[in-house]
Structure 1
């Protein structure tokens, strides 16, 4: 039985636009994608789970919310441009300072992810009811714990290589699609003191986030991305040396 994670504070962020505008999406996620993800985390023993959405003041990511977030889960798609530069920069700063970040599906094109990657983050895509098989290519990684050899989704949106990201620190999943494409679908990165996991599946018209194995991966990633003790990060002018320097010759 999973033990409660009372010391880990999670915030699940979602645009929450598709669910209010598209009946096909609201039929799958009547309370929003964020609520299904949050409920999945609670089912895995996390008790400190809150949600935030785009149309709340400051997109729901006030200083108070971020001060009480250890790991931020991000889902965005149609409204990346509506996220203010100020809030995106604030999230990036928190990640560099140690906050964990889990970026889901089309969040690859979010301002936050692109700023942290420093690349275009583009890819190929197709909405064609492809079968997706996510192969575990790093079985010893904590994010792959209790997942099995692969995860199979009967229908999903296809993402295909080339994925314009920096080389991941670690590759946990690689997806194969029935149309023939492959994709690096589970990638970890470190930026500053923060850990980042990008996880591909989750198009809004499919019930992907209801899938037990997908919920397991997100829960594992929350454990993995939690802030950990690290050496201090210090920058700027150092007028006083640690050791005595010889006097400068005149």
Structure 2
């Protein structure tokens, strides 16, 4: 990162792709809600006509609901890898990171309530449909959860780690890899087509990897070459992180103070 860009920022291409993924995710989630509405409709029609609600239409719509929610969550999480939220507002960060879980409940909970509270439905039918919808909710919830959410602060720390080790925001990576590297000849990527770019560009290039981070082999090799230990490196990164996340007005005040001192001199 340059002196004027201390906090990690996504590339313009990454922001554009993230917006597209989020749009498609919202459309898929809306489709899931529509599928749930039709499932409830067919469920009530069967109940009111004296037929068994355990039929192909209801079960098929539950499955369709699951597919749409799952696909939407996948795209949403992918968009967060490309253009992650900030951790400054914990609530908004959680909502954006775990929106797939929220939508899983929105897409299934009303249906489950309709099934379990309808007095005209026999216990066996409730158990079958309730179990199917419940399992679908569980799968959708797990699929929508992000157990390693990306954030601006996390990516800033990763970039600072690279700069602390090499003095430059430059890494090597492969489109199908799970790590980015400090050495182009790292043996884990020597037989692959290697790309070179910033940490932001690396994340944009392989945004489907939830655990995409610095190669430990490269990190330990560089530390050994420079003769630094983990404590020294972590302290340097910590100082860089604090500087990167300092309030903008603090930087302005510091600059004004420095200018005043120069004028006085």
TM over 0.5: no
**TM-score, length-scaled by structure 2:** 0.25
Structure with greater proportional helix content: 2
**TM-score, length-scaled by structure 1:** 0.26
**Considering only CA atoms, is the larger Rg found in Structure 1 or Structure 2?**
2
